[in-house]
Amino acid sequence: MADPRGDTPAAVPTVVAPPQEPDGATGSSYRLERDSTYLTWLASDTATGTASALGTFAIPLIAIAVTGSAAQAGVISGVSLAARLIATLVGGVMADRRNRFALMVVGALVGVAVGLAFTLLCRSDGLSFTALLVLSVLLAVRRGVFDPGGEAAIKQVVPERALGRAMAANQARDAAVNLAGGPIGGALLGVGGWLVGVGIALGHGVAFLAASVLRRRVPVAAQLPTKSDADGQTLSLFADARSGVRWLFRRPDLRGTLLIGTVVNLGFNLGVTAIIYSLQLQGYSPLSIGWLTAIVSGTMFVAALVSPLVVTRVGAGALALYGLLLCTAGIVAVGFVQSFVATAALLAGSVVLVPALNAGLTGYMVLATPSALLGRVTSAGQVLGMGAMPLAPVLAGFGLALVGRPTTLLFAGALCFIAVVLVLLTPSIRALPKESEWRAHAAKFGS
């Protein structure tokens, strides 16, 4: 719909909303790889993710090269993450108020514009700390405002019984993007930073084309906001965003993941960022650092290929516990090694269960959330789960400068271990079942 409604629900339904299934996907033999609508969505989302990965990888390294300071690079990344979190709250509301497929189209166009601006600044030698900060914040705000619409649209593309497998496939896609993003970003930086800008623009250009096809393919009725609030009046932006947070905290099966996500995201990202910054300061080239991220992402890609089988056989709660234990062990162990090979091996081992963990927790949340609230709830979950992440690059930069790599990584590992303890102390997380039992489990908490 060209001009979707602006009203959204004020009250939470007492039952989980029924899914909307694409045409031809209702048979028992449904397979993701045969669903052209899902594949088109995946193409758009993958292109957007690739463009975002290039910017996330390249800008901090360019900042260190321009300023010579890991601390200033950390400030750029930290401010950008904070801007993204704030923008994500807005994006969640927009995803529930407006046509989600139209948001994908507009967001891609904005990404093209920022990528071209990045290219022009690089070619004119206009890069500075301030310019990099502005570009990074613009990319982060674009991601926060428009990406929730694309993420929420998956429930209008894939039948609910396949959500776990779709999320697992998305994990494989994310790993593949990161696998390619590091080496590609490093190679582009080796030629010139302006090529990164070109890559960002091209990625969003492909996303625009795929999203345009998707918008024409999905029936108009399936693109519309599904419910108005009880009084028939539009809620304020703040009240709408707050409703997603309120719904999450009313669900005992979901709210336990919020604090745990906050702690582990801070700890693990602090560790990974400290490793990348330390390698840059030790004189490793961007291409070498790109290969480190590629090794880790390659491991996640292989693990993600089998994660659809894992989520159908192992409970999401068990995956959370054992996945976090591996992450903790890997970050702590890296603090005791110096070689590039050992660092890569330990980091790769630490993420073996991450794709299945993410697929289980994310898939369950998407299934359990009514479609009319999905944008706000997923955005609220991201903001609450990543609320402390802007501190990660800042702590990494100043930690390396003040106490060095080993102590910084031990602190990061301690944060990850706190997340493990929290899982052990939270029965509602440990009780999350395997994919086939998600619907019945979610129904227990439907009000």
CATH number for the domain harbouring residue 81: 1.20.1250.20
In degrees and rounded to multiples of 5, residue 390 shows phi and psi of: -60, -20
Element (H, E) at 291: helix 286-311
- pLDDT value of residue 235: 58
Residue 388 counted as domain residue: yes
Residue 6 counted as domain residue: no
Residue pair 77/276 in contact (Cβ under 8 Å)? The answer is: no
Side-chain half-sphere exposure of 357, counting CA atoms within 13 A: 23
- pLDDT value of residue 243: 79
Q: How far apart, in whole angstroms, are the C-alpha atoms of residue 94 and residue 248?
A: 18
- The parent domain of residue 350 ranges over 32-217+237-443
Which residue pairs from 191-197 have beta carbons closer than 8 angstroms and sit at least 24 positions apart in sequence? 192/122, 193/58, 193/62, 193/122, 193/127, 194/118, 194/119, 194/122, 194/123, 196/54, 196/55, 196/58, 196/62, 196/118, 196/122, 197/115, 197/116, 197/117, 197/118, 197/119, 197/120, 197/121, 197/122
Whole-structure pTM value: 0.66
Residue 207 counted as domain residue: yes
Residue 9 counted as domain residue: no
Residue pair 54/199 in contact (Cβ under 8 Å)? The answer is: yes
Residue 10 counted as domain residue: no
Residue 16 counted as domain residue: no
**What percent of the chain is helix, strand and coil (3-state, nearest 5)?**
80, 0, 20
Number of domains in the chain: 1
CA 374 distance to own-chain centroid: 15
Residue 175 counted as domain residue: yes
- pLDDT value of residue 226: 52
- pLDDT value of residue 323: 93
- pLDDT value of residue 29: 65
Residue pair 413/267 in contact (Cβ under 8 Å)? The answer is: yes
- pLDDT value of residue 207: 93
Identify residue 201 by its one-letter amino acid code: A
Taking only the tens of pLDDT, the chain with its 447 residues reads: 333 333 333 332 222 333 334 333 334 466 777 788 888 988 898 899 888 888 888 888 888 877 777 778 888 888 888 898 889 888 888 888 888 888 999 999 999 999 999 999 888 877 888 888 999 999 999 999 998 888 888 877 887 777 777 777 776 777 677 666 666 776 677 677 788 889 899 999 999 999 999 888 876 656 555 554 433 445 567 777 777 788 888 888 888 887 888 888 889 989 988 998 888 888 888 778 878 877 887 888 888 888 888 888 899 899 999 999 999 999 999 988 888 889 999 999 999 998 888 888 888 888 888 877 888 888 888 777 777 777 888 898 889 888 888 899 999 999 999 999 999 998 888 989 988 888 888 888 864
Tell me how crowded residue 90 is: count the other CB atoms within 10 A of its CB: 18
**Among the listed residues 269, 308, 314, 287, the one whose alpha carbon sits nearest the alpha carbon of residue 409:** 269
Helices (H), ranges, 68-162: 70-97, 100-123, 129-152
In degrees and rounded to multiples of 5, residue 174 shows phi and psi of: -60, -40
Q: How far apart, in whole angstroms, are the C-alpha atoms of residue 294 and residue 186?
A: 11
- pLDDT value of residue 8: 30
Residue 55 counted as domain residue: yes
